[in-house]
Structure 1
Amino acid sequence: MEFKTDIFSQFDKEWALLTAGKKDDFNTMTVSWGGLGTLWGKNVVTVYVRTSRYTHEYVDNNDTFTLTFFPEKYKSVLGVLGSKSGREMDKMHESGLTPIEVEGSVGFAEATTTFVCKKLFKQGLEVENIPDDIVDQFYKTDAMHDMYIAEVCEIIKK
């Protein structure tokens, strides 16, 4: 399993879709916070999901999820998927993306790279452990994030 990238821009500049559930019942959201590395002798990804997000329920209720990365031309689609809730609209229909079954989870035909991830760990971020300036910037009016660490079990590249 090999993946070469600029780790400091993979999430922040390129974004990704985090998707959890099965093809007949799933939700997806754009993530721009995350990390790649090793932990417990495994290749892992770390992602952060606000507890208020609809996708949070799906990540909690499934053992696996996918992270999918797309060509630049899909950036506006990812922007919509990151700002609209699946509780309020059919994001997938409006996105024009093609969901596909991937190792018991869901990916997208248009993705250039898909990580199949197995959850290993979850922990809520605690406001008292975060510097005040960050709390002021990110948590004054929004829900906190939960941090998920997952093993990258497979990388599918086009």
Structure 2
Amino acid sequence: MKEDVKYNDYLKELLEQLPKGAFLTVKDEDKLNTMTIGWGTIGFVWQKPVFVVMVRKSRYTYQLLESAKEFTVSIPLRKELKKELALCGTKSGRELDKFKEGNLTPEPGKVVNTPVIGECDLHYECRVIYQQSMEPALVAENIKKLAYPKGDYHVMYYGEIVACYVKE
């Protein structure tokens, strides 16, 4: 059963899990992919609850997100899903079906066309309301060295949270 919750009811749990990994999923027509994210944030912008995710232009997910303009974020709370997060963080959806390889279950979203990961407990469904490519000249030098030694910068996607729920 899926119980609707406010977008900020599980912020502590989200922020503790995010550095360990969460699933960012995108569906564009018949193409479906999920990837592991370890960075992101939730806030309130333009009078809307927003989940900001970052995706590099080199990622398969970027291609799908550019067309779909929606995404889901699924957070494992009760199970660690380390093996599944590792697979989705190291393999490309261009080459393999991560759902099949990782035994992950795509479950229909409540509002958006992109599914959530059935093995997770906390889910955010989002529609892109703004996106911004990072401007390399504006990134602090220590962050450039740490995260962008190859110059593969992120695009930041601001997704209005249109549904948030936990599985019981």
1:1-158 equivalences under 5 Å are 1-2=5-6, 3-6=9-12, 8-13=15-20, 15-21=21-27, 24-70=30-76, 71-102=78-109, 103=111, 104-141=113-150, 143-158=152-167
Alpha-carbon contact 1:43-1:152 (below 8 Å) kept? yes
Stretches of structure 2 that go unaligned for 5 or more consecutive residues are none
Return the alpha-carbon distance in structure 1 between the equivalents of residues 69 and 142 of structure 2.
Answer: 34
Alpha-carbon contact 1:65-1:105 (below 8 Å) kept? yes
Note closer, same or farther for the CA distance 1:129–1:142 as it changes in structure 2 (3 Å cut): closer
Amino acid aligned to 2:150? T
Paired residues, what number?
157
Return the alpha-carbon distance in structure 2 between the equivalents of residues 66 and 8 of structure 1.
Answer: 16
Cα deviation, 1:57-99, whole Å, max 9, x if unaligned, reads 1111113211111133312211110111011222221100111
Return the alpha-carbon distance in structure 2 between the equivalents of residues 69 and 8 of structure 1.
Answer: 10
Return the alpha-carbon distance in structure 2 between the equivalents of residues 120 and 55 of structure 1.
Answer: 17
TM-score, normalised via structure 1 length: 0.91
Note closer, same or farther for the CA distance 1:140–1:146 as it changes in structure 2 (3 Å cut): same
RMSD: 1.7
Return the alpha-carbon distance in structure 2 between the equivalents of residues 27 and 8 of structure 1.
Answer: 23
Alpha-carbon contact 2:28-2:67 (below 8 Å) kept? no
SS in 2 for 1:55: helix
Stretches of structure 1 that go unaligned for 5 or more consecutive residues are none
SS in 2 for 1:105: coil
Return the alpha-carbon distance in structure 2 between the equivalents of residues 36 and 149 of structure 1.
Answer: 9
Cα deviation, 1:4-48, whole Å, max 9, x if unaligned, reads 2326434223x2111111584211111110001100001111110
Amino acid aligned to 2:50? V
Note closer, same or farther for the CA distance 1:72–1:142 as it changes in structure 2 (3 Å cut): farther
